[in-house]
């Protein structure tokens, strides 16, 4: 220790000219002091004595070196920190190696969790939304006549994009476009009638014709159906099975295929495919097996396209909503955990163009991490019970409505 403490005497004497003396006291002296601190890191006593010598020297030899209070307090802080670090090192050295290993692992996971939390706060609340007009001046939305798709159409118009609306019902399409134009007068809108459960090739041809010459920069693949109510796989009839696969899987795939070439040509675009928590957040969705499987397709399809086209300037994303208050979910009233379609779409707009997979409504992402922290078997069991309840209610409702259909008033 003493040999180390004598190190200062072996260093060159301070320069004589006034200017050099100033530089020396302000910078070189502290720098040398730091070098010494580092050399004595593992010896807290040396550090204390060094600090004392430094402070004494500074005030005795050149009072002007104390004339920089910021530098002085900076150094004092560092001294305390270095001392703490040195003590910690001493303590660690005295511990068995397994304790050190556990401490290192614990600190690493704490760091990881803190980093993830800070990142979540930033991307959820602070990160600015992308300027969607930079992708192109038109957006195409499938299934815009109700639910999430309808709210997306309004939000996109609010951002100044023109719209290609693709739906099956011409009256509903007209009603939506009129409502959008009443609110955002400048929006140009083209309606394309396509029944995704019908002749899909014909429908895709109509979409291709409608977007000819338009710079469609944003595509929202929203159209989708689920079961009327929960049921076992063997209870899914031929028609429902065909529709689920054709609308959810084929529809999204082929609309993407129709819109992508234009984006590739312009080297820019954002594609949003609406997935579902049924396939990604919970480990299984019993009694909705085919629906969940179609959404698992959407998830993987999006992820692969994200990697394929990232370098071509096209941002592909799978959005993963949990329950949203729509007719598909059979939920009328929104709540904190079940947003309205407007609430969902507002949150969703801020995510377009960023991560390949996201759950835009923040309480949903909290539920997602909760679901991840529970054992899968517990969630499976809860979900099965929950869906069996939905099935029972659905069957009851169905048999009641059949009963009403068969009932004929007598004596009329």
Ligand X SMILES: NC(=O)c1ccc[n+]([C@@H]2O[C@H](COP(=O)([O-])OP(=O)(O)OC[C@H]3O[C@@H](n4cnc5c(N)ncnc54)[C@H](OP(=O)(O)O)[C@@H]3O)[C@@H](O)[C@H]2O)c1
Residues that bind ligand X (CB under 6 A): 143-149, 167-169, 172, 195-197, 222-225, 247, 274, 276, 321, 323-324, 326-329
Which CB, 47 or 391, lies closer to ligand X?
A: 391
Distances, alpha carbon 7 to alpha carbons 32, 98, 315, in Å: 10, 37, 60
- Helices 44-61 + 29-39 axis angle, to 10: 170
Give the contacts of 135 (CB within 8 A, at least 6 positions apart): 217, 218, 268, 269, 270, 353
Which CB, 290 or 324, lies closer to ligand X?
A: 324
Which CB, 55 or 331, lies closer to ligand X?
A: 331
Q: Distance (Å, rounded) from C-alpha 370 to C-alpha 361?
A: 15
Which CB, 262 or 339, lies closer to ligand X?
A: 339
Q: Distance (Å, rounded) from C-alpha 379 to C-alpha 183?
A: 43
> From the CB of 102, what's the least distance to ligand X, in Å?
41
Which CB, 51 or 341, lies closer to ligand X?
A: 341
Which CB, 50 or 192, lies closer to ligand X?
A: 192
Tokens 């928590």 sit at which residue?
277
> From the CB of 120, what's the least distance to ligand X, in Å?
21
**291 counts as catalytic:** yes
> From the CB of 170, what's the least distance to ligand X, in Å?
10
Q: Distance (Å, rounded) from C-alpha 359 to C-alpha 368?
A: 9
Give the contacts of 170 (CB within 8 A, at least 6 positions apart): 191, 193
| CB distance 317 to 351 below 8 Å | yes
Which CB, 124 or 222, lies closer to ligand X?
A: 222
> From the CB of 34, what's the least distance to ligand X, in Å?
58
Exposed, middle or buried: residue 240 (CB in 10 Å: 0-12, 13-18, 19+)? Answer: middle
- 164 forms beta bridges with 140, 190
> From the CB of 248, what's the least distance to ligand X, in Å?
7
> From the CB of 176, what's the least distance to ligand X, in Å?
9
| CB distance 383 to 282 below 8 Å | yes
> From the CB of 95, what's the least distance to ligand X, in Å?
50
Which CB, 195 or 398, lies closer to ligand X?
A: 195
| CA 44 distance to own-chain centroid | 46
- Active-site residue identified among 229, 288, 291, 344: 291
Q: Distance (Å, rounded) from C-alpha 325 to C-alpha 336?
A: 11
> From the CB of 288, what's the least distance to ligand X, in Å?
10
Instruction: List residues with catalytic annotation.
Output: 291
């Amino acid at each position: 220790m003493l040999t180390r403490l004598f190190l200062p005497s072996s260093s060159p004497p301070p320069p004589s000219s006034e200017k050099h003396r100033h530089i020396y006291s302000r910078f070189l002296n502290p720098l040398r002091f730091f070098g010494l601190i580092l050399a004595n890191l593992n010896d807290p006593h040396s550090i204390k004595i060094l600090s004392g010598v430094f402070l004494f020297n500074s005030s005795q030899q050149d009072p002007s070196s104390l004339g920089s209070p910021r530098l002085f307090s900076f150094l004092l802080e560092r001294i305390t920190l270095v001392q703490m670090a040195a003590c910690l090192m001493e303590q660690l050295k005295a511990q068995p190696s397994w304790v050190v290993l556990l401490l290192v692992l614990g600190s690493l996971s704490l760091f990881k969790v803190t980093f993830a939390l800070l990142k979540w706060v930033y991307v959820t609340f602070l990160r600015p939304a992308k300027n969607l007009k930079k992708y192109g001046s038109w957006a195409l939305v499938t299934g815009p006549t109700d639910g999430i798709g309808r709210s997306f159409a309004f939000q996109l118009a609010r951002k100044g994009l023109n719209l290609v609306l693709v739906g099956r019902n011409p009256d509903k399409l007209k009603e939506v476009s009129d409502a959008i134009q009443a609110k955002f007068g400048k929006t140009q809108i083209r309606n394309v009638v396509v029944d995704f459960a019908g002749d899909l090739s014909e429908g895709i041809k109509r979409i291709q014709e409608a977007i000819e010459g338009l710079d469609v920069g944003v595509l929202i693949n929203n159209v989708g159906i689920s079961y009327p109510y929960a049921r076992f796989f063997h209870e899914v009839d031929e028609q429902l099975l065909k529709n689920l696969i054709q609308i959810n899987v084929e529809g999204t795939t082929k609309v993407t295929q129709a819109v992508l070439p234009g984006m590739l040509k312009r080297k820019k675009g954002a594609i949003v495919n609406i997935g579902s928590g049924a396939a990604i957040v919970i480990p299984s969705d019993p009694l909705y097996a085919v629906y969940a499987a179609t959404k698992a397709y959407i998830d993987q399809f999006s992820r692969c396209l994200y990697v394929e086209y990232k370098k071509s300037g096209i941002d592909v994303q799978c959005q993963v909503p949990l329950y949203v208050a729509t007719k598909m979910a059979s939920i009328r009233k929104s709540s904190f955990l079940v947003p309205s379609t407007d609430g969902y779409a507002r949150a969703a707009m801020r995510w377009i163009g960023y991560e390949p997979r996201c759950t835009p409504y923040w309480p949903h992402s909290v539920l997602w991490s909760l679901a991840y922290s529970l054992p899968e078997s517990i969630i499976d069991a809860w979900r099965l019970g929950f869906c069996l309840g939905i099935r029972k209610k659905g069957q009851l409702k169905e048999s009641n409505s059949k009963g009403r259909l068969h009932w004929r008033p007598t004596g009329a």
